[in-house]
Amino acid sequence: MPKSWTDDAPAPVALQEHAHLKDPIVYKIKKALLGNPLNRHTLGHQRLAKRFALGILSSDCISSSAYGSEQILIALLPAFGLASFALMMPMTVVIIAILTIITLSYRNVIEVYTKTGGAYIVTKDNFGPVMSIIAAVALMLDYIVTVAIQSAAGVAAIISTFPSFHAGKVYMTIGIILLITYGNLRGVKEAGKSFAMPTYLFIGGMAIVFITGLVKAFTGTLPVLATNLPGAKELGHAQGLLTFSAIFILLRAFANGGSSLTGLEAISDGVALFKVPEAQNARKTLVTMSVILGTLVVGVSWFAQRIHAMPYDKGTPTVISQIAKESLGSSATGRVLFVFVQAATMLILFAGANTTYNAFPILCNFVATDGYLPHQLTKRGHRLSFSNGIIFLASSATALVIITGAAVDRLVAFYALGVFTGFTLAGFGMAKHAHTHKIGNWKLKMFINGLSGSVSVIVVLVFAVVKFTEGAWLVITIAPIAVVLLLRLNRQYRREQAALNFRSEESRATSISRHDVTILVDSVDVATVGAVRYARSLNPHNLAAVHFVIDDQRAEDIRKAWAEAPALDDVTLELIDCPDRRLPNAAMDYAIRATTSPDVELTLLLPRRSYTPILGKLLHDQTAEEIARPISQLSRVVATIIPFDVAKIISGQSVVIHDSHVSGATKVVQEVQEKIQAQKIEPASAVSFMSHEPVSHYAENVMPIGKITWRSRAHVKGRVTSIKTAPRGSAPIVEVEVWDETGGVTLQFLGRREISGLDVGSQLLAEGMVGETNGSLTILNPSYEIVI
């Protein structure tokens, strides 16, 4: 290639984008349905003021007041008849007392766990991983039921307003689940402030209902409904409260009413969403939410008792709709307000279901990161949501709706068992935390949390007994099986990781100069070291490693592990941004740029870890073939997959990493020579910075990167897409690629091994003299500013 200082050389230019692969039909369909992929650098959440956080995070909890009191009546009426209405308020008082205890416990959770403090995190920190899996399974089951019951209850609110829709109840409920699922797959965020509106509409609507109802009650115009209407629940005969059957029915009614307390954990799960000070704002919001929930539950129970609102066999009209209708009256204004209240009830129930679409995938991400669920649940999808978790949640909830016929009273049988298990473990976990750390008024905290755990475990036992035949048996059966499966899954992951770990003193092979070789790195383990040994045996002129960044934390972990590994200290690791997470495209783009010069041949090595056929496909990504297939279509580029059999190591056959000077390397070279053709590469040109202008001049105005010129000063701004650091054994240098809409330029920082605060994806301002490297524009040792 002609050098830039010769007369016949082309002028150096800014880096330019290259053509990408033709989109396959499946990807085209995905783009048509979900839109263009979101850049991962847009990922983030907005900080919420308390008023927005209350509306967004409390929708699940507050909306449960729409059916909690009704579920109490469903259990009481067949056994106690009209006396059931007299039992409503005492039963409600017990539920409010439990609400108070659990709220006090979760205030303590928020105080200690100021980022996220769900039952899974609390249990893992205080009781270890096995108990935390019990909490995780309980919460996952609860979230699945939440989507089903919130959607079914929202549809019931529609049918209570328009009874003719009753025949399509199941289809409407499934349609709502699919609609919410579609919205979340497109990237609908829980932190969107518009999701606060349904909560305040519902609170406002119920305030109107309660005020007008109280006025009618004090003036004696609040009607009492007939209890023998067609379709209403059959009334039983009054009986004593001390018989075994009566006590059993009372416990069942109490368990039904416990469904009003679901969703209390949402605030502790979302502490990081609050504005500073997060913990203080979250605690205030939690108390406010609990007060509103308690007020709504007491109000609905009192009005249901006062007007004798009857549940119906088909689930509609609902008790809360009867209260609204009688309180608001039959005037034109009353009918409009009734429709408004029903619409608000429907919206908050659907918003509560949508909240679960954020909590469930994040919980699965935590559990999968810890190695107890398939790693696919940690991957963000096309629109940056945890799409695998969303699809799993929607599929499970849809199956539950079909099984139960979208009947809220049947879904309640599956409901509170999971959430109260979480309350139990969180309460006892915080009690242990207080006793262990003994900070501040720790005795009072231990008492409150211990009381919360004790009350919750009583509720769990009561629910398991009285709801066993109604569906709780399924949860009781599935939960232990799921816990065992998750523990066995973790054991498999740990065995595979143990097989992939390597010791720092393990060696490497010799190398003889041939051509450029690049290793695509996904993790730093024994398979990667084996790929490096293989790469050295190819005698490359330039040996490098590349990691395409789709997760910043993982990239940082790989960078640190690479820097600390003596076996890799002479191999350059380059982090290249992959914002749309399409690894084949990123690899193709890298290969095109690396072979711009016609005398360069590139070999891409892709380590592939082979596992057992069935579990390997279920638990691990299979991306090596997807990358190698399009790469093989390029001239002067060879993609070689390096298999590494993890299953064989687990079975007892270990891999031995030999020293770099053993004779076995010769055999590897011979095998490579039989498989691929290699070309000798001319030495790479040095960096040339020739300028006849005074270097002290400063370019004031920021210019597009595509318009900067060689041998002049330039002031540019763009996003960092690549950071390349020199290996530990060579002269220190950091190369940073910065791009804007018009092109890219390389910034070279001599004498440095890192730039503090600079990450792939950062915005950077830089100013300096423009030189060139191999025909591409380069700025040497620029002054810079990281844009926050």
Q: pLDDT at position 288, please?
A: 92
Q: Mean pLDDT in runs of 10 for the chain (788 residues)?
A: 54 70 79 77 66 82 83 82 84 89 90 79 89 90 89 89 87 93 74 74 92 91 83 68 68 77 80 80 90 92 89 83 89 90 90 85 88 89 84 93 86 78 90 89 91 89 81 84 92 85 55 71 88 87 91 89 87 89 88 86 87 63 76 84 77 48 37 39 36 47 87 90 87 90 90 86 89 86 85
Helix axes 583-594, 624-631, angle to 10 degrees: 40
What's the CA gap between 592 and 142, in Å, rounded?
50
Q: Does residue 430 contact residue 112 with C-beta atoms inside 8 Å?
A: yes
Q: Does residue 181 contact residue 360 with C-beta atoms inside 8 Å?
A: no
What's the CA gap between 622 and 639, in Å, rounded?
16
What's the CA gap between 733 and 539, in Å, rounded?
24
Dihedral sign computed on CA atoms, order 391, 392, 396, 402:
positive
E strands, 120-193, in order: none
Q: pLDDT at position 190, please?
A: 45
What's the CA gap between 303 and 216, in Å, rounded?
11
Q: pLDDT at position 679, please?
A: 39
Structure token digits, residue 190? 């829980």
Q: What is the 3-state secondary structure of 342-409?
A: HHHHHHHHHHHHHHHHHHHHHHHHHHHHCCCCCHHHHCCCCCCCCHHHHHHHHHHHHHHHHHHCCCHH
Q: pLDDT at position 248, please?
A: 76
The H-or-E segment that residue 610 falls in is strand 602-610
Give DSSP secondary structure letters for 489-531: HHHHHHHHHHHH---TT---------SEEEEE-S--SHHHHHH
Q: What angle do CA 718, 722, 726 make, to 5 degrees?
A: 130
Q: pLDDT at position 449, please?
A: 92
| Beta carbons within 8 Å of 105's beta carbon, 6+ residues apart | 423, 426, 427, 430, 448, 449, 451, 452, 453
- Whether the bond between 607 and the residue before it is cis, its omega within 30 degrees of 0, is no
Q: Which one, of 452, 269, 448, lies nearest residue 440 by Cα?
A: 448
What's the CA gap between 61 and 763, in Å, rounded?
40
Q: pLDDT at position 428, please?
A: 93
Give DSSP secondary structure letters for 75-101: HHHHHHTTHHHHHHHHHHHHHHHHHHH
